[in-house]
Structures are given as C-alpha cells and as structure tokens.
Amino acid sequence: MTSVQSEDNSSLIYGDDFDDDDESIDLYESQTTATCSMGDTACHKLNSLVSQESEFDFDEDQFSGNESDDELLVDPMTLSKKALDDDKGGSSLKYECLTTQDILDRMLKRVHHLQPVFSIPSEDILVLMQRYDWNEERLLEEWTEKMDELLVEAGINTSNPGDKLNITMRGIKHRSDFNCFICCEVRSTETFSLECGHEYCIECYRRYISDRLNEGNVITCMDCALALKNEDIDAIMGTPSSARLMDSSIKSFIQKHNRNYKWCPYADCKCIIHLNDTSYLQEYTRLHCSRFVTCKFSHIFCFGCGYGMHAPADCNVTMAWVKKARKESENLNWVLSHTKECPKCSVNIEKNGGCNHMVCSSCKYEFCWICSGEWGPHGRSFFQCTMYKNDDEKQKASVENSKKALKRYTFYYRVFNEHEVSAKLDWKLGQTVGQKVKAMQEKMGVSWIEGQFLAESLQILNEGRTVLKWSFAVAFYSDASHNLTKIFVDNQMLLSNAVEQLSELLQIKNPETTMKRKSEFYNKAGYVRNRTRALIECGRDLLRKCICKPVD
C-alpha cells in the first residue's frame, strides 16, 4: 500500500511497517529448560506421546523385523535414521504443545524480566514488545541504539509528569456539553484522552477499539501515534477486553514464526506445537517421511505441511493431492452427499457410522458404501473394491484421454472422500465410547483400565482409516503397471478389510456383548495396527523408488 504525505497531513497516522521476515529468534530458547511452564506431568506426557508417534510412523526398521542397532549401522539409511530417531536424537526433536495463553504468559515473564533493563513501566515494555512482534533481541538492539526515537515511534508518552502545562491527564473524564470531533455530537458524556489531549467521547472510543481488538496491533490514539496501554483499553471498554488484543497479537506472532510454531489443524483445537529446531525437517523430506506431532488432545498432524496425519503420502503427494482436489472442485461438482440410494430398493440411506458395510433398513440388502456392490465378497480377502477397474478401456479404445483421467481421478477422490467421512463418523462414534466404558464400569464392575481397550481400538481404527484414506492419494500418483503398486493395492485391500471389521465391532451397542468379545477387539485392533504399518512402509517404498510421483 502506498503512503503519501498530503498537505493536510497532521492527522495521518504513521504506519507500523515492521517487516519481520528475518530469522525468527526464539525468545526463550535459553529459558525453556529452566522454567518449563507446563509442569512435569505434562512434559512427561508429551514425551510419551512423542515416542508413541515415532513408533507409528518412521521407525524404518520396525516392520522389516526388529534388527538391533548394530545391524542398522550397515544400512545406508543409518545416519539419517539416527538423526530422525526421537529416542536417541536428543533435544532437537523435542516439541511442546502450547496455547496462546501459555505463550503470552512466557512473554509477560520476559517483560517482567526485562523491566530493569528498560526502567520504564512494564505496560510500556509490553507495548514495545508488541511493536517488535515479540522479538526481544531486535528490540534490545534498537533500544541501545536509539532509545528516545524508539519511544516516540512506539507511541510511548515521554513527557515529563512534572511539566503540567502541556500535558492532559491520561484517562476517563466526565464532561458536560462535550463536542466530540469524531461523531460531532454535543452532549454530556464520559470522554477519554491520552497525554496528547486528543479527547473523544467514550462511545466513539469504544467503537474504535472494538474494531481493532482482533487485528493484533498496538492501538493508538485516533489522531496521533501515542499508544493505548492494556489498562486504558480495559478502562474504556469497561471489561477486560485487552485480553482479546493480546490473544490476537500472539496469533500474529505465531503467523510470523510459522516455521517453528504450527496450529493444530483440527477443527476447534487451539493447540500450538512449538518445534525449536527445524533444521532436520529437510532430512525428513528427503526420506519421504513426515514429522508427525501430536497435540494435547491426541490430534496427529504433520509439522512439515500443517495438514493432518497423511501417511503413507509424503508432504509433496499431500500438497499435490489437496491442490488438485481444490482445482477440480472448482471445475466440477464433487458434492458427495452423505445419503445414497439403496442399490436394490432405492430407499434413501444415511450413513451414520464409519463402517462401510451397509444394511438397508428397508429391504435388508447388504452392500458396500464405497462401490455400491453386494457386501458378500467384501469380507473375504480376495475382493478388491479398493482398486479402480478400467473397464472402459477395452470397450472403447478411443475414449478421450482427459475424460479417462478425470474419471480415474473421480474414482480416487471419491474413495478418499468416503474414508474421510467414515473417519469423521468413527470419531463421533468414539465420543460415545467413553460413555460405554462408564456404563460397563457401573453395570458390570469393569475397572477403568480394563475398559481402555475400547479407546485404544478406536485410536487404532482412526489411524488405520486415515492411512487408508491417504493411501488413495499415493495410489493415484503411482504407476499402476508397476509390481510394487500392485502390492500396494493388495495392502490397501487388506487394511481396508481389517478396518471395516474393527469398525463393525465398535458399533456394538450392548456393553455385555462388548466385554464378551474383548479378545476379538484385541485381535482385530492388533491386526489393523500391523496392516497400517505395512501400508505406510509400502507407500514409502513407492515414493522412494519414484514409482509414486506427484504431478501438477
């Protein structure tokens, strides 16, 4: 945007053009070990999550058998593997899960800590920190260079309190017949002004502030650069509204440091993952691995691209897929509804659980939600509704290539989508699991620990579904004629069957039946877990051998 000085520029406001694209400097790097604000239990929990997650994704050797470390040394991957390994890699791999409040608390601690250096009120330092996007080092540097200028620029009042002639008292006043320059109304009202004397009625000030609370910038006087402090804002608004400003300021801080801070992408989750050292992320990319992190609420997402868990796809496949889906949906109508007609009696059926084994409530016909085919063969291992069958090819050799490509994409997109919907429904199902466990505890005297197999099964089911879902993106970009792709498709099918069976078990409503079939849960869940890992492994092979190549 262009800023020009007009002749009447007395009221032009100075822009705060802080371009903060330079190295993100961690404010409390030195401090994290000393003051871990999260408390020991939380830290411990995080560590356990970290190791759990590493087992889930990138233990290269996990699957190909349990070689010892010595054997691994022979592997050409060893070096990178070492660097990637959580347990041995050391502190560079640690991450923490924070909220904006956690970050703000740290900032406030820093402000308190810095107070002796600046020897100005803490509230003023807070304004300075905001101006410098919470970049303490840059602030300190410039503070030593040009203290006075900086204070003026940041809108901090520098006039001497003893010099009473030129200064208006900062704060709220009561006035009769006040003529507000903003609304031009004349009436008895409360007013507010800073030391600059630009005094406006409280209502104009309230409207002015409330528009700006979410923008994350220091709010200044309407007519000059003098800054409002948090206490001013709260006094004017009559409520502790400055908290909102602080929150939006921290949000913009995260935005500007998005290499080290990532929002959990799950809807309504307010967690932020902070990764101190991102230098090794490149190595992940090279190996087609992804740095999956887990927030406090067990949401797994990729630190590299910010999307939810997307194994076996790597970030490149994920981005290509997401981009394509976005592009295609612009051109075409991909609205895949949640209802389908029963293939037999055409009654409308709504899918209300993750399981794809559908039974029509009207005619009892059993069919597969994904391919609309009869369910019968799905339970058996040879059936493949996960594979795109190119029937048309033989019938019409001259089918337009683009149409075919589109049709191919439609297929993969549809399956991907179905699994996404299923995953969401499973998640909903999971929320009832807690109640189920409770019911079991109350009715059958089952201990809490004993009931946890349900939660675990659900977690495994979710992971399996997610991996299955993303495997279709990998399949889409893979050379279908290659043998390894065929193996991949076989693996998809195995996982698909395993997932459906586990999903079906979880639909059981009766607590007694659930308890009776506990061992089945263990078996199926274990199987899903194994199949999930196998598919991830196989997918990574496809990527490593360049059989899966994301294009456009």
Active site amino acids: 355
**What is the rounded CA–CA span in Å between residue 522 and residue 114?**
55
Helix (H) / strand (E) containing 272:
strand 272-275
Give exposure, 248-265, as e/b (b: 16+ Cβ within 10 Å).
bbbbbbbebbeebbbbbe
Closer to another protein by CB, 112 or 207: give it.
Answer: 207
As a whole number of Å, the end-to-end CA separation of the chain is 33
Q: Which is nearer to another protein, 141 or 185 (CB)?
A: 185
Pick the binder of another protein from 50, 108, 140, 183 (CB under 8 A): 183
Concatenated DSSP letters of 5-19:
--TTGGGPPPP----
Tell me the window of 7-15, 308-316, 393-401, 495-503 that interacts with another protein (CB under 8 A): 7-15
Which of positions 332-351 make contact with another protein (CB under 8 A)? Answer: 332-333, 335, 337
Q: Say if CB 324 and CB 552 are below 8 A apart.
A: yes
**Shortest Cβ 402–another protein spacing (Å):** 13
Of the candidates 30, 279, 331, 447, which one interacts with another protein according to CB under 8 A? 331
Residue nearer to another protein on the CB measure, 130 or 532: 130
Which window, 66-74, 178-186, 383-391, 448-456, contacts another protein (CB under 8 A)? Answer: 178-186
Question: Which residue stretch of 1-9, 133-141, 428-436, 532-540 sits at the interface with another protein (rule: CB under 8 A)?
Answer: 1-9
Q: Does 387 bind another protein (CB under 8 A)?
A: no
174 sits near another protein (criterion: CB under 8 A): no
Question: What element of type H or E holds 131?
Answer: helix 122-131
Closer residue to another protein (CB): 34 or 184:
184
Which one among 43, 72, 77, 222 touches another protein, defined by CB under 8 A?
222
> What is the nearest approach in angstroms of another protein to the Cβ of residue 339?
10
Q: Considering the rule CB under 8 A, would residue 400 count as an interface residue with another protein?
A: no
State which residue, 143 or 208, has the beta carbon closest to another protein.
Answer: 208
Rule CB under 8 A: which of 186-215 touch another protein? Answer: 198, 204, 207-208, 211
552 binds another protein (CB under 8 A): no
13 in contact with another protein (CB under 8 A):
yes
**333-351 CB burial, b ≥16 within 10 A, e <16:** eeeeeeebebbeeeeebeb
Candidates 298, 329, 435, 452: give the one binding another protein (CB under 8 A). 329
The yes or no reply on residue 40 touching another protein (CB under 8 A) is no
In angstroms, what is the minimal distance from the CB of 227 to another protein?
A: 14
Q: Any contact of residue 551 with another protein (CB under 8 A)?
A: no
CA dihedral 518, 521, 523, 524 (to 10 degrees): 160
Q: Is residue 322 at the binding interface for another protein, with CB under 8 A as the rule?
A: no
Bridge partners, residue 341, by sequence: 348
Contact 201, 185 (CB under 8 A): yes
**Closer to another protein by Cβ: residue 122 or 248:** 248
Nearer to another protein, 198 or 465 (CB): 198
Where do runs of H (alpha helix) occur along 202-268?
Answer: 202-212, 230-237, 242-256
Contact stretch for another protein (CB under 8 A) within 18-26, 331-339, 454-462, 526-534: 331-339
Binding residue count for another protein, defined by CB under 8 A: 32
Contacts 24+ apart (CB under 8 A), 261-269: 262/293, 262/301, 262/303, 262/306, 263/306, 264/295, 264/297, 264/299, 264/301, 265/299, 265/301, 265/306, 265/307, 265/308, 266/295, 266/297, 266/299, 266/301, 266/308, 269/295, 269/297, 269/299
Least Å distance, CB 8 to another protein, is 5
Nearer of residues 332 and 363 to another protein, judged by Cβ: 332
Binding range to another protein, per CB under 8 A, among 11-19, 156-164, 354-362, 370-378: 11-19
Q: Does 395 bind another protein (CB under 8 A)?
A: no
267 binds another protein (CB under 8 A): no
Q: How far is the CB of 208 from another protein (least distance, A)?
A: 6
At how many degrees (to 10) do helices 136-145 and 100-118 cross? 20
Which amino acid makes up residue 525?
Answer: A
| C-alpha–C-alpha distance, residues 371 and 486, integer Å | 19
User: Is the Cβ–Cβ distance between 107 and 212 less than 8 Å?
Assistant: no
State how far the alpha carbon of 539 is from the alpha carbons of 77, 81, 197, 275, in Å: 17, 18, 67, 26
Out of 34, 74, 165, 184, which residue is the one contacting another protein (CB under 8 A)? 184
**Site for another protein contains 330 (CB under 8 A):** yes
| Peptide bond preceding 265 in cis form (omega within 30 of 0) | no
Q: Check binding of 6 to another protein (CB under 8 A).
A: yes
Nearer to another protein, 147 or 336 (CB): 336
Length of the chain counted residue by residue: 552
Asked if residues 233 and 219 have their Cβ atoms less than 8 Å apart, the reply is: yes
Closest approach, Cβ 341 to another protein, in A, equals 9
Segment (H or E) for 432: helix 401-444
Query: Does 392 sit near another protein (CB under 8 A)?
Result: no
Which CB sits closer to another protein, 71 or 215? Answer: 215
223 binds another protein (CB under 8 A): yes
**Binding residues vs another protein (CB under 8 A):** 1-9, 11-13, 15, 181-185, 198, 204, 207-208, 211, 222-223, 329-333, 335, 337
